[in-house]
Amino acid sequence: MSTHTVRTEPVEVPARLRQAQPERAVSAWWQAAPFTAVFAVFFLVPLALVVMVSFWNFNEYELIPGFTLRNYFNIFEGCSHLTDNGDLCVTLSTYLSTLKFCLLVWGITLLLGFAVAYFLAFHVRSPGVQTALFVLCTVPFWTSNVIRMISWVPLLGRNGLINQGLVGSGIASQPVEWLLFSDFSVVLAFVHLYTMFMIVPIFNSMMRIDRSLLEAASDSGASGWQTLWNVIIPLSKTGILIGSIFVITIVMGDFVTIGVMGGQQIASVGKIIQVQTSYLQFPLAAANAVLLLAVVLMIIWGLTRLVDIRKEL
Amino acid sequence: MSARASEPRAPGFWPLALVFAAFVLFIYGPMLTIFVLSFQGPEGGLTFPLRGLSLHWFHKLAEGLGTVDIGAAFRRSLLLGAVVMGFTVALSVLAGLAFRKKLAGGNALFYVTVASLIMPSIIVSLGIGLQFRLIDTGLKALFNTLGATGMLENYGTALGLMTSALGAHLTWTLPFGLLIMFAVFNRFNPAYEEAARDLGATPWQTFRHVVLPLIGPSVVGIGMFGFTLSWDEIARTSQAIGDVNTLPLELQGLTSTVTTPAIYALGTVTTIVSFLVMGLAVGLAMWLGKRQRRSQS
């Protein structure tokens, strides 16, 4: 009897609380408000300003509000024909060079990241070892990117370890020059810095694959490659897509890695924007940023055509 | 050795194990070389061989590198990292709680957050830089029309460590914070909260005594993400900070001017700070987890 009275009392409390539901909906809005405000003030408004200012005029001292397409014409100046030397205009050749880096880095990080994630997800049997090895891969992510870039200098430099080894063993008669401050070192640094962004989402997708599907595939006589191609890759698509979006957006907008590892000699879209801001040519920089954004969005849109990300999240 | 562990390895294991080992060597090798080289003797250069073993370059670093005040940049970065950490924890936890309820516009907010995560940093940075320059222009015009010449003369810029740079860093750290909160609440059992409510706890008591201890270790993780992401951030800060620089920005500038192992020493020091924060966070998270398990048993 006494247990009954103890039980009935608490049941009434949630009933009373449930009547207060509309009030709790308001509090959800208040809880999200500071978070929302940060993105409104520091993300949405700045983006809108970039678009707006890209149509403004400017002189050496100030920005002049107005509407002009001058900045956009300026970007594509001379792009309608090849120059006398047979080169493309600056904008097109910079985009082609940035896209080239993007494609190379994307391909290499995808292959490498997939292989590493596959090894961790399907070949390492003990969950403890799996976690330990996964953490081992993520630790360098916490060190400053610039440090990880300059850490290649003692290896790749003219007097670096690799050249010392090559010359010492007689393979090369003199130090190899293209190792550092070249396309090679830029791609190497990108792979070093951002393969993590591929491994984590792909590993995540792979861990969600039901292991009985693999057994079913092998029971039905599929070879290892067939299982990989017809079962694992389709089921890891979301991870591959998320990783790809990360790597592509980072490389397209990068100016730090290309600056440091390219010895400030290689042009990139991000670098153009950075240089223009340092000369206070904000409307030009803004027009370039709008163009960059359009290109990145088109690539992402193209990728999401291949995979319906919302369906799979 | 269990029976399963002694089974023969699947085909492809050894080649992939080799790839994995090579990858680990690839990501750790270069970093280890600069840690080793930062302990060069006074005659040492930027490359091997190691000439002597000393703390010489750390002393040089403490004296300053050229015109750059490393100590001031170090303190600025620490301060900014700590403030970003505080905001990231508070705002992510609040937003995480909000997303568990019916939140009007929640989808839109989620997409904006993801957009911020994948937006090329230079665009965000440029936008914030522009925004604060326009604020400067507006304020100066306002002072002018008000005739407040004193304020006009004293006014520098709204760009700064705790304004534009803080905002720029939050657009980078908050998406990580929110995604971690989603992962946490996906595994969270609401029965505990219902039990607390059934026992007559107020919403605040439920949060303070039930939810917070349960999510505590993950909240510490969010703090760690917030600090270390801010501590190493360059691209979003570059156009959005104004006159002063953070440590990574100074470091980026120094890569082209400093040609002594002092720069490696700086690399070693900043990495040690990152690892200390990580170590503290992991230790705190484990302690919280253990305390919670003890109180449950």
pLDDT tens for A136-180 read 888 888 888 888 888 888 888 877 888 888 888 888 788 888 888
Confidence of residue A15 (pLDDT cuts 50, 70, 90): very low
**In the prediction, which pLDDT does A2 show?**
41
**In the prediction, which pLDDT does A1 show?**
39
User: pLDDT digits over A177-213, tens only?
Assistant: 888 888 899 999 999 999 999 999 999 899 988 889 9
**In the prediction, which pLDDT does A71 show?**
86
d(CA A238, CA A225): 20
In this complex, the residue of A126, A154, A192 whose CB is nearest that of residue B34 is A154
User: pLDDT digits over A208-259, tens only?
Assistant: 888 899 889 888 888 888 888 888 998 898 899 999 999 999 999 899 899 8
Q: Which chain A residue has its CA at the smallest distance from B168's CA?
A: A42
User: pLDDT digits over A279-301, tens only?
Assistant: 888 899 999 999 999 999 999 99
d(CA B19, CA A140): 18
52-81 in B: which are within 8 Å (CB) of A? none
User: pLDDT digits over B74-102, tens only?
Assistant: 889 999 999 999 999 999 999 999 988 88
**In the prediction, which pLDDT does A7 show?**
41
Q: Does the distance separating the beta carbons of B127 and A47 come in below 8 Å?
A: yes
pLDDT top residue among A1 and B191: B191
**In the prediction, which pLDDT does B106 show?**
86
A82 has pLDDT over 80? no
Q: What is the CA radius of gyration of chain B?
A: 25
**In the prediction, which pLDDT does B6 show?**
53
**In the prediction, which pLDDT does A295 show?**
93
ipTM of the complex: 0.86
Q: Does the distance separating the beta carbons of A161 and B235 come in below 8 Å?
A: no
Q: Is the pTM of this model over 0.90?
A: no
Confidence of residue B297 (pLDDT cuts 50, 70, 90): low
The amino acid occupying position B116 is S
- Give the H/E segment covering residue A145: helix A145-150
Q: Are the CB atoms for B31 and A151 separated by under 8 Å?
A: yes
pLDDT top residue among A87 and A102: A102
For residues A29-37, average pLDDT: 90
User: pLDDT digits over B181-235, tens only?
Assistant: 998 888 888 888 889 888 988 888 888 888 888 888 889 989 988 998 898 888 8
Residue percentage of chain B with pLDDT more than 90 = 25
**In the prediction, which pLDDT does B193 show?**
86
82-101 in A: which are within 8 Å (CB) of B? none
**In the prediction, which pLDDT does B40 show?**
80
The residue among A147, A144, A146, A164 whose CA lies nearest residue A156 is A164
Q: Does the distance separating the beta carbons of B197 and A14 come in below 8 Å?
A: yes
Q: What is the mean pLDDT of chain A?
A: 83
Q: Does the distance separating the beta carbons of B123 and A144 come in below 8 Å?
A: no
Q: Does the distance separating the beta carbons of A192 and B27 come in below 8 Å?
A: yes
- Taking the Cβ of residue A313 and every Cβ of chain B, the question of whether any pair is shorter than 8 Å is answered with no
Alpha-carbon distances, residue A289 vs A74, B75, B168 (angstroms)? 14, 32, 17
pLDDT top residue among A32 and A11: A32
Residue B107 DSSP label = H
Q: Are the CB atoms for A197 and A109 separated by under 8 Å?
A: yes
- Give the other-Cβ count within 10 Å of B109's Cβ: 20
- Taking the Cβ of residue B130 and every Cβ of chain A, the question of whether any pair is shorter than 8 Å is answered with yes
**In the prediction, which pLDDT does A136 show?**
86
**In the prediction, which pLDDT does A40 show?**
94
Q: In angstroms, how far is CA B260 from the centroid of its own chain?
A: 28
B279 has pLDDT over 50? yes
Residue percentage of chain A with pLDDT more than 70 = 88
For residues B113-118, average pLDDT: 91
**In the prediction, which pLDDT does A18 show?**
46
Residue B209 DSSP label = I
Alpha-carbon distances, residue B269 vs A143, B28, B235 (angstroms)? 11, 17, 21
**In the prediction, which pLDDT does A8 show?**
39
Q: What is the mean pLDDT of chain B?
A: 85
**In the prediction, which pLDDT does B183 show?**
87
Question: Which chain A residues have a beta carbon less than 8 Å from that of B112?
Answer: 39, 43-44
**In the prediction, which pLDDT does B296 show?**
67
**In the prediction, which pLDDT does A34 show?**
92
- Taking the Cβ of residue B12 and every Cβ of chain A, the question of whether any pair is shorter than 8 Å is answered with yes
